[in-house]
A = this chain, B = another copy of it.
């Protein structure tokens, strides 16, 4: 008898996480003998805890296909860390209760480091509680910091967005620098790892072109060195373009964005490494500056998604189901790079014990010795990940994105659960 599956999105969403959802759902629909319905958690794992499940079988094949073109989390995602076994494990027990009530035998969790850990624990708990469930983690994170996998679905599209945006802004600044802005700063995501910052460097195709300076969270902030390099660059090329990580920190690991900015109301200024750097340039070097904080735009920009990333995002969703129906438990599909040039990849598999809570940082040899740019080795790694375009369909000048019906499944447990 087929058993039902549960799918949930976890953590920050991406331009292509819904492609993974489509991969899971479309593939499950092809395995009717093993998998009954796919239920999605409304707002991620919270939907499981509160028994707020979405019946994806109520969505047409066309609607599920349209997920491939739609950014954000179609069923809602959540930033919610399950309370551990040390706190009584009630939340895990509740999950098993809900899964049991809906005959859920497959658990697909689409997220990053935290959710890999959750996925592992659910698999362990199901054994402890004697309720069999196959748990497979579907990788997703723009931070690109999951171990084992060559890259993380979601990252390639952010990388393509920030590289394209930087390239365009550089052409703008370059053409105005004679009489206007001399220093341009683009702040990007990546609080602990500089992968996205590195990707802005791809916009530089020839020496002398911007971006001239990259500021990585891995390299301790050095005000003097930064200002000297900006000054030198403006003198030499007429302008200076900078890609800066939101997670820039000093030698003591203190985030620059927490260094005491106050607004007009006297409140601490939130976020914003770019305006801070810009103010520094303005006050110390007296150079006109402009800055961008791209924030969510970078991870939602489905309109400029990487085809490679999109394909890989779909593939990990598909592979997760194929692994699950084979009974592979506590695993995560990975991307394996089988050839660098020409770029070729295939799906591999990792054990969740090797993945959970492990963070992959930028290798030091991906950053130039002076700490201000990426090396050729880094370019070779990044280049294929942004390759290929996969524009969504457009309607009346805007991308045609789908909103699902998200019909609720009738509740079966009698108990309410308080988060």
Contact = CB atoms under 8 A, between A and B. Distances in A.
Contacts of A306: 397
A125 interface: no
**Count of this chain's copies in the oligomeric assembly:** 2
A202 B168 contact: no
Interface in A379-419: 383-389, 391, 394, 396-399, 401
Interface string A12-26: 110100000000000
Contact of A71 (B171, B178, B262, B272): B171
B269 A301 contact: no
Nearest to A156: B397
A160 interface: yes
Contact of A292 (B261, B270, B295, B383): B295
A176 B276 contact: no
Nearest to A292: B295
Interface in A75-105: 75-80
A290 B296 contact: yes
Contact of A164 (B80, B389, B399): B399
A244 B379 CA distance: 37
Interface in A231-283: 259-265, 267, 269-272, 274-276, 278-280, 282-283
Contacts of A70: 171
Contacts of A304: 303-304
A386 B391 contact: no
B276 A264 contact: yes
A302 B168 contact: yes
A169 B297 contact: yes
Contact of A296 (B179, B184, B295): B184
A163 interface: yes
Contacts of A300: 165, 168-169, 171-172
A176 B397 contact: no
Contacts of A78: 176, 178-180
Nearest to A181: B296
A293 interface: yes
Interface residues of A, number: 88
B164 A71 contact: no
Given A272-B272, A295-B291, A76 B175 contact: yes
Interface string A26-56: 0000000000000000011010000000000
A74 interface: yes
A332 interface: no
A194 interface: no
A218 to B, nearest CB: 23
Given A172-B296, A173-B296, A397-B306, A179 B43 contact: yes
A174 interface: yes
Contacts of A13: 172, 175-176
Contacts of A9: 175
A265 B283 contact: yes
Interface of A: 9, 12-13, 15, 43-44, 46, 70-80, 160, 163-165, 167-169, 171-176, 178-180, 184, 186, 202-203, 259-265, 267, 269-272, 274-276, 278-280, 282-283, 289-297, 299-304, 306, 383-389, 391, 394, 396-399, 401
Q: Which 4 residue pairs spanning A and B have beta carbons closest together?
A: A72-B171, A73-B175, A386-B397, A168-B300
6 contacts: A13-B172, A72-B171, A168-B303, A171-B300, A265-B283, A275-B275
